[in-house]
Amino acid sequence: MLLVGCSEGLVAMWREAGGRLSVAVQEWEPGTLRTGALRRPFAVVVMDDRYRAEPTAFDALTREGPTSLVRLEDGDLIRQEDQQLLAEAVLQAAYEMTAPGATASLPG
């Protein structure tokens, strides 16, 4: 799981939720997308303003592998409860896809 351009509070919330499920959550700066990930992430969570600044880099990352893109509006506009629900849902899906013996597959 990669977080790009997210606030410290949002990163902490995703890491806490990821820790409960043993799903790694990494914070990346937009410029590091060009270097590529060693392993394809399950999902990339990016603030919408960061996505709009460099859409081709994000689109290429999701096009090249089984990676979902989650674009978030300004964190101040999203209730904390909703952010928590989204984080837990995405991380639960990541856990189910990557857990030993998982039989689920990504759509597409």
In a domain, 106, yes or no: no
Q: What is the residue-level pLDDT of the chain in tens, covering all 108 positions?
A: 888 888 888 888 888 888 888 888 888 876 666 555 556 778 888 888 889 988 988 888 787 667 888 888 875 556 777 777 888 888 888 777 766 665 544 443
- Is there a domain that residue 103 lies in? no
Total number of domains in the chain: 1
Query: Which range marks the domain in which residue 64 is found?
Result: 2-98
- CATH number at 43 reads 3.40.50
Q: Please answer whether residues 25 and 18 qualify as being in contact, where contact means their C-beta atoms are separated by less than 8 angstroms.
A: yes
Global pTM? 0.74
Domain assignment present for residue 82? The answer is yes
Quick check: is 10 in a domain? yes
Answer whether residue 41 is part of any domain: yes
